[in-house]
Amino acid sequence: MKSPGMAVFKQQKVEDIYEIEEELGSGQFAIVKKCREKSTGKAYAAKFIKKRQSRASRRGVRREEIEREVKILQQILHANIIQLHDVYENKTDVVLILELVSGGELFDFLAQKESLSEEEATQFIKQILDGVHYLHARKIAHFDLKPENIMLLDKNISIPHIKLIDFGLAHEIEDGVEFKNIFGTPEFVAPEIVNYEPLGLAADMWSIGVITYILLSGASPFLGETKQETLANITAVNYDFDEEFFSHTSDLAKDFIQKLLVKDTRKRLTIQEALSHPWITTHQPKEEETKVQESRKDENRQLKTKRLKEYTIKCHSSMPPNNTYINFERFARVVEDVSGMEQTFTALAVSHDSLQEDLDALVSIYNEKEAWYREEHENVRHGLSQLKYEYRKIEGLKKHLQEEVKAVGTSLAGITGKYLDLESHYEALSQEVSEGLQWVQDLTGSFQLEGGSEASTDGGMACIFNKDLNGSLMELLNRSCCEEFLAALNTGVAKSSQ
């Protein structure tokens, strides 16, 4: 049994714990082998799932898909669903150790029977519904219900125990979260899968309707000559109850199928409604009634099992060796990629419109700025021209002032020289005047000696005469020097101004 707390893949060789025996089956990227636990001797089924080595590769299963399958299996504990025992991992594979289901496929078992009644059919369908009810109660959709995934635990009893297997496509359906995908086997997928619409638990109910139709008739309701025709039949819900196959089928059975094969998921039977349908809840006839009707239905039942056998043989012979519809899966991936590209193109278109608006706004801003810069450029250019004119004018004035300063400097040099000449001339003249005064004084002195007594009477007059003479001479000298100096200075200024 699985451990409720198991969450990590064991990183050790599975061969160290289990004896690997013969192959039981294979899928596109998985192979199932019988194995036996060395410590207990108990038999299990080992499912080797090839891991995808890179994101760009299409070979193998992505790690997150394997983890999703393991997570779902770890939540499950029901008599009609296969049980996960353990999980191992190596460089190339993840190995699921599963409950061994050795009774084979349900349809193979029924095809080998000589007869089949509706009552027996309802017992098998009821087990399928019980398993699906357990899943749907936990919001888990299987998404790959088909005869190959409905196995028998042991076929050596009249009504074997059914086990639902292969949860590689199973998903937990979350409220408010839209989930779309294209996967599964074309013959059994619901219209919403083909049309790439939001998926839910109702997809499993459609598959149960197809399985019931085949179980009672040996014919597939939507199977066409090509896969494209099959898918077209599904989207159009193109099927009927051919009298050749359903002439002895009860109306309740047909009603059960009709209410499952409904395109509108809201009108399709839910799992609870299917379990409550009269065809499922009706008890088997009493033993006396069974014996009376046995001879009448023997022939019809034999026809049913013959057709079912033919159907199973045809299915097994037409399937690829790995038991999958490879082309359909490739088509599903292509459609998914195309859808992703469409979403990308839509996002690009929105981004383009947004970018165009931004670009227009930038161009408008650029034009406004360019006009402003042009105006500013004209203003600056005009100001610069005015500055150049003023500069040239100032340069002219500067040159003129320099010339005037130079002329003034020359004039001052001339005046200085003239001043020095006049100063020396003044000194010479002053010397002459001093000598003349000295002579006059000497002369006056001699007059005083000769006069004798007359000197005493005339002394005061002589002093006064000397003072007047000296003052007159000094005034004459100063006036003469000043006039000469000013005349010379005027002459020098006149020459410098010329």
CA–CA separation, 17 vs 40, rounded Å?
Answer: 10
Q: What pLDDT is recorded for position 314?
A: 65
What is the DSSP pairing of strand 171-172 with strand 162-164? Answer: unpaired
Per-residue pLDDT at 299: 41
Nearby residues of 375 by Cβ (< 8 Å), 6 or more positions away: none
Q: What is the pLDDT of residue 452?
A: 56
The continuous run of DSSP H or E covering 64 comes out as helix 63-74
CA angle at 127 for the pair 121 and 131, rounded to the nearest 5° = 145
Report the C-alpha gap between 172 and 200 in whole angstroms.
Answer: 9
State the pLDDT at residue 166: 92
Q: Give the pLDDT confidence score for residue 126 in this predicted structure.
A: 96
Residue type present at position 226 = T
Q: How far apart are CA 169 and CA 191, in angstroms?
A: 17
Q: Pinpoint the alpha helices (H) of 112-222.
A: 118-137, 191-194, 202-217
Within 10 Å of residue 81's Cβ, how many Cβ atoms?
A: 22
Question: Rounded to an integer, what distance in angstroms lies between the CA atom of residue 254 and that of residue 240?
Answer: 10
Residue-level pLDDT at 480: 57
pLDDT at residue 443, rounded to an integer: 85
**Whose structure tokens read 């059919």?**
121
CA distance 285 to 308: 24
SS3 98: strand
Q: In the beta sheet, which residues pair with residue 94?
A: 49, 89
Torsion angle of the four alpha carbons 81, 51, 201, 44, in this order, in degrees rounded to the nearest 10: 0
Token couple for 323:
């038991």
Q: How far apart are CA 89 and CA 67, in angstroms?
A: 11
CA pair distance 123, 160, nearest whole angstrom: 10
CB environment 315-330: b (16+ within 10 A), e (fewer)? beeeeeeebbbeebbe
Query: pTM higher than 0.75 for the full model?
Result: no
Residue at token pair 């190995």:
95
DSSP 3-state percent helix, strand, coil across the chain (nearest 5): 60, 10, 30
The H or E element containing residue 257 is: helix 251-260
- Main-chain phi, psi angles of 406, to 5 degrees: -65, -40
Distance in angstroms (rounded) separating the CA atoms of residues 242 and 76:
39
Task: Copy the structure tokens of residue 296.
Answer: 């009448």
CB 464 within 8 A of CB 458: no
pLDDT tens sequence for the chain (498 residues): 444 444 578 898 999 999 999 998 888 889 999 999 999 999 999 999 999 888 777 788 888 999 999 999 999 999 999 999 999 999 889 999 999 998 888 888 888 876 778 888 899 999 999 999 999 999 999 999 999 999 998 887 777 899 999 999 999 999 889 999 888 899 999 999 999 999 999 999 999 999 999 999 888 999 999 999 999 999 999 999 999 889 889 999 999 999 999 999 999 999 999 999 999 998 444 444 444 444 444 444 333 566 666 676 666 555 444 333 344 445 555 656 777 788 888 888 888 888 898 888 899 899 888 889 888 888 898 889 899 999 999 999 999 999 999 999 888 988 988 888 888 888 888 888 888 888 888 888 887 776 555 544 455 555 555 566 566 656 655 655 555 555 655 565 455 455
Q: Encoding tokens for residue 211?
A: 């399985």
How many Å separate Cα 464 from the centre of its chain?
A: 129
Q: State how beta strands 162-164 and 150-152 pair.
A: antiparallel
Number of H helices, E strands in the chain: 13, 9
pLDDT at 470: 61
Active site members: 144
Q: What is the DSSP letter of 269?
A: P
- Look at the chain and count its residues: 498
Count other Cβ atoms within 10 Å, centred on residue 462: 15
